[in-house]
Structure 1
Amino acid sequence: MGKADADGPGLPDLPPEWGRVVIPDNLAALADEAEQVRRELRAAADHHRRWRPPAKPVIVLVVAVLTTIAGLAAVTWPRNGRTGPSTSTPDPAPALLTGRPLPALDLVDGGQSPVPLRGLLPVVVLLVDGCACPDQVAEAATAAPPGVTVVTVAGARPRAAPAGTQVRTLADPAGGLRAFLHVPASQDGVTALLADRTGRIILIVPKVASITNYHAELSRLAD
């Protein structure tokens, strides 16, 4: 049984808003209140432990990821004024090869027998590894003056010559001639190489559109 001691002797003056303070005779009567206080303190401590500010490395990682995404978006995002066709500078190698000697390469015929390229001079070589282009080959055979050899060079195996022509058909399995010219194969036209009887390269046409691209040089090739 507790007793009111707010007005009892020996106690300091307490704030009036606290009301009447009762001190129990048995301290066990405070067990429930003490347990409630402990539960509240534990709950507050758990909440404090669960909430922790993010570590610095995590912040740095997040910033790095966001920066990377922003950079990719800037690169890949469509931009106005850049929708026109791109232009590329042609390889200057064909022009630089003009006047140089024809390389001493061996091609192969249909039986895989070697055929020296320099043994065909004067010659117009049509590389048909990208396009058979029989019409362009037939035009070259018709326009070639007497004494000039017209040769087609394919990849692994020789291509058939157009009917009614005297075209020599060879192959270059190793790709040595194409590599020497530094000209990629095209599906739209043949590559033409003209060399005179001394083996000097007269002209290289990377992609022939018509016989007019080299007709003048071809007509003088046997001189």
Structure 2
Amino acid sequence: MGKADADGPGMPDLPPEWGRLVVPDDASALADEAEQLRHELRHRTSARHRRWRPPAGPVLVLVVAVVTAVVGLAVVTWPRAGRSPGPGVSTPNPAPAQLTGRPLPALDLVDVEQSPVALRGLLPAVVLLVDGCVCPGAVAEAAAMAPAGVNVVTVAGAHPRAAPTGTRVRALADPAGGLRAFLRLPASQRTVTALLADRSGRITLVLPELDSIADHHAELALLTG
């Protein structure tokens, strides 16, 4: 039979609101209370796990899909150093200043009889590309403004174009388009492309669209220096 131990000698004082604590002689008498306590602990543990359970099912699939899409978009749009342009993507034309100082290419053009003529054999020269525009007025002005000893050369496409009457202009053609490809400047139907090269073959001036050669009198004078 159990006895009240709360008043027994040597026992610590217990809170008065607990009342009298009775310790049974047989521990099996506490089996029901122990089972009830274990059940309550399991219930609390299970509730805590349910409260922190991560999202599952359609919600989790949606989250994964969104993250994958964002990562894929970042990879595609992220700029890559040294990436070369793909097919059909044009590269910028070099600025005329980038051509200045470079040597005139050693090209063979052709005359009216389709005989080869070395371009570098005509230096110093004012070269007018007339494959886009005949522009006889611009050609005649260049011939009149060029200093003595400077050749004025017109370069057409497949066949040389006749020079204006009364001018000393060497009319040549560039069937292969080598000079235009070197300049990488598009032909204009309104005016000519002009370049000046001194007697050493160095390009001193490039004019993608020539307005008036008279605006470049100083550069013309330097060709004979």
Deviation of 1:92 (Å): 3.0
- 1:214 counterpart SS class: helix
Number of the residue aligned with 2:201: 199
Aligned residue number for residue 166 of structure 1:
168
Count of residues in correspondence between the two structures = 135
Partner Cα distance (1:184, 1:213) in 2: 22
Q: Percent identity?
A: 74
RMSD: 1.5
Is residue 213 of structure 2 the alignment partner of residue 220 of structure 1?
A: no
2:98 maps to what in 1? 96
Deviations 1:177-218 (CA, angstroms, capped at 9, x unpaired): 000001000011100010000000000000011123433211
C-alpha contact (below 8 Å) 2:192/2:210 kept by paired residues: yes
Superposed counterparts of 1:1-223, under 5 Å: 91-223=93-225
Q: Which amino acid aligns with 1:95?
A: A
Amino acid at match of 2:208: P
Name the SS for the 2:186 alignment partner: coil
In the aligned structure 2, how far is the partner of 1:204 from the partner of 1:215? 14
Q: State TM-score, norm by structure 2.
A: 0.58
Amino acid of the residue matched to residue 170 of structure 2? R
Structure 1 pair 150–184 and aligned structure 2 pair: CA distance change class (3 A): same
Cα distance in 2 between the residues matched to 1:90 and 1:131: 23
SS, match of residue 165 in structure 2: coil
Output the CA distance in 1 between the equivalents of 2:215 and 2:171: 22
**Matched residue of 2:97: which SS?**
helix
Q: 2: CA distance between counterparts of 1:161 and 1:178?
A: 20
- 1:93, 1:181 within 8 Å by CA — same for their partners in 2? no
The answer to whether the 8 A contact 2:145-2:214 is kept is no
Q: Contact (CA 8 Å) 1:140, 1:150: kept in 2 or not?
A: yes
Provide the C-alpha distance between the structure 2 equivalents of 1:126 and 1:138, rounded to a whole number of angstroms: 11
Structure 1, gaps ≥5 residues long = 1-88
**Does the Cα contact within 8 Å between 1:94 and 1:183 map onto a contact in 2?**
no
Partner-residue secondary structure (3-state), 2:128:
strand
The code of the aligned residue for 1:174 comes to: A
Match of 2:125, as an amino acid?
Answer: V
Match of 2:19 in 1: none
Matched residue of 1:119: which SS? helix
